[in-house]
Structure 1
Amino acid sequence: MGLDDIKRRIADAEAAAGRAPGSVTLIAVSKVQPPDRVEAVLTAGQRVFGENYVQEAQGKWPDWRERFPGVDLHMIGPLQSNKARQAVQLFDAIHTLDRMTLARKLAAQMQEQGRSPQLFIQVNTGDEPQKAGILADELPGFLASCRDLGLSPQGLMCIPPEGEDPVPHFSLLRQLAVQNDLPLLSMGMSADFEAAIAQGATHIRVGSAIFGERDYG
């Protein structure tokens, strides 16, 4: 596998779902990947990347952005409220808005910095107590509270429970997006992105299928 293979599979999945070519944004998840692998994907033309940790992203992306213009950087991991300033400075999109304390911090930083990263609300579609995210029935109220702060979330994100069929979770997220008039859906990873595209994903998050398995050692 690799970048070209993933792009081909995305195009095939778009066609199979009757969707327009290029309607799905591929986020290459570069967390803890060796620099040479990331640079190879940058050199191949990929410009949308996802990171899970603010500190890690701060350490590597300013230099790459100078060398590879046009990078679009997405925060896809849990975001601590005390990292809101750095996140607003660094990221073009934040996929993990999941609580009011974070919403308030982001609103303050966006106003202070004059930057407006794209915002996705993370939904806990599996109602898992250990997982971050807004519960489905709490979404309308949370969205209204975000808008009262001056935020304009544009999409939803989910991570289906491990070991479960992801399709019902993707379907639920799509329904919630339609009900709340949100155009963007961040869902689907290396193992299930084709199913996510069939359910309407606009952004998929693919790491190991592009870069190879991560080495956490």
Structure 2
Amino acid sequence: MGLDDITRRIRAAEIAAGRAPGSVTLIAVSKLQPPERVEAVLDAGHTVFGENYVQEAQGKWPAWRQAHPAASVHMIGPLQSNKARAAVQLFDAIHTLDRVTLARKLAAQMGEQDRHPQLFVQVNTGDEPQKAGILADELPGFLALCAELRLRPEGLMCIPPEDQDPVPHFRLLRDLAQAHGLPGLSMGMSADFEAAIAHGATHVRVGSAIFGARVTG
């Protein structure tokens, strides 16, 4: 596979779903990838990347952005509240707004820095106790709190349970987003992004299928 193959598959999925070409944003998940792989994708003209760890992103993206000013970096991993300052400073979008304490920290930092990354609320669609995210029935109250804090999430994000068909989770997230007037749907990864696109995904997160297996040692 690779960037060209994934891009073609996204375009085909858009057409199959009757959606406008280019309506889905591909987030190339660059966490734990060797620099030369990420630089090759940057040089190929791709501009949207995803990172899971604030410290790792801090160590590489400032320099890459100087060389590639159009590049944007999205936080797609769990975000510790004590990293809110760095996250607001570094990321163009945060997909993992998942609790009240983090909402308050982000609101304070966005006001202090006058910087306003896009926000997605992570929803725990599988009601999994070990997974982060707002439960579906708690979403209205959480969005009301965000409004009080002058946070304006533009969408929702989910990571379906690994052992389940993702489609019901994609449908649930779509329905929740529509009910609350949120246009963004961050859902779908390497194994299921085409199904996510069929159910309205606006952002899909693909890593190893673009870059190859991650380096963990």
Q: Which ranges of structure 2 fall in alignment gaps of 5 or more residues?
A: none
Amino acid paired to 1:128: E
1:88 paired residue number: 88
2:213 paired residue number: 213
Residues 1-217 of structure 1 mapped to structure 2, 5 A cutoff: 1-217=1-217
Q: Secondary structure at the match of 1:215?
A: coil
Q: After TM superposition, give the deviation of residue 148 of structure 1 in Å.
A: 0.3
Amino acid paired to 1:205: R
1:17 and 1:213 map into 2 onto residues whose CA distance is 30
Q: Deviation above 6 Å: which 4+ runs of structure 1?
A: none
Q: After TM superposition, give the deviation of residue 69 of structure 1 in Å.
A: 1.5
Q: After TM superposition, give the deviation of residue 215 of structure 1 in Å.
A: 1.8
1:163 and 1:35 map into 2 onto residues whose CA distance is 32
Q: Secondary structure at the match of 1:18?
A: coil
Q: After TM superposition, give the deviation of residue 97 of structure 1 in Å.
A: 0.2
1:200 and 1:206 map into 2 onto residues whose CA distance is 16
1:152 and 1:208 map into 2 onto residues whose CA distance is 31
2:5 and 2:143 map into 1 onto residues whose CA distance is 37
1:75 and 1:215 map into 2 onto residues whose CA distance is 19
Amino acid paired to 1:59: G
Q: Which ranges of structure 1 fall in alignment gaps of 5 or more residues?
A: none
Amino acid paired to 1:108: A
Q: After TM superposition, give the deviation of residue 68 of structure 1 in Å.
A: 1.0
2:117 and 2:165 map into 1 onto residues whose CA distance is 31
Amino acid paired to 1:66: Q
Q: TM-score w.r.t. structure 1 length?
A: 0.99
1:215 and 1:56 map into 2 onto residues whose CA distance is 13
2:57 and 2:181 map into 1 onto residues whose CA distance is 31
Q: After TM superposition, give the deviation of residue 190 of structure 1 in Å.
A: 0.5
1:81 and 1:68 map into 2 onto residues whose CA distance is 29
Q: Secondary structure at the match of 1:119?
A: strand
2:38 and 2:73 map into 1 onto residues whose CA distance is 13
